[in-house]
Amino acid sequence: MARFALSAIGADRPGIVAGVSGALVELGCNLEDSTMTILQGHFAILLVVSGPDERSAADLEAALEPVIRRFELVATVRPFDDATSSASPGVPYTVSVHGADRTGIVHAVTKALAEVDGNVADLATHLVGTPDAPVYVMTLRVTLPGGDATAAAVTHVRDAAESLGVHCSVHPDESDTL
């Protein structure tokens, strides 16, 4: 099977997911992995798609063109090769950060994770509260090194967040239940 990475963003409107997925189904493609969200009124989509070997990125782009025009999306399609992934396995954890909004929170926490060989699998941020008192909320799903290194990694990440005056909790993920 041929595999592709597809990304698109545009003003949020009903029907974007149906349009994109419909164009892909017509080509015999399957959505293997996806994330879709609304970011301040804009819909963002990131997909890993598989399809028949004879399909190319140009085929997907051509099939998606009417959807891209209709919804005024900015989209890219490229061949996807999972052999280039260098992420190391680790123990799954959730990191939750919240506090007064300020520049550098994402950088400090992700830098601390990188320094302990932690890997970010998913990251979401939101501003909550009122315009005069915004609260920054960040949730990350990460992997941390196992064994004796885990406790030191957790402490390092917490210390980095708390040096910015934000609260940070780090806890092991529980098994997903279907």
| CATH superfamily of the 91-172 domain | ACT domain (3.30.70.260)
Give the Cα separation of 77 and 6 in Å (integer).
Answer: 4
How far is CA 109 from its chain centroid?
Answer: 16
DSSP 34-66: EEEEEETTEEEEEEEEEE-TT--HHHHHHHHHH
pLDDT of residue 83: 62
Domains 2-83 and 91-172 share a fold: yes
**Residues lower than pLDDT 70 in the chain:** 82-88, 175-178
CA atoms within 13 A on the CB side of 147: 4
- What's the CATH number for 2-83? 3.30.70.260
Per-residue pLDDT, 87: 56
pTM: 0.79
**pLDDT digit string, tens, across residues 73-104:** 999 999 988 665 555 578 999 999 999 998 99
Domain borders along the chain are 2-83, 91-172
In this structure, are residues 118 and 143 in contact, taking their beta carbons and an 8 Å threshold? yes
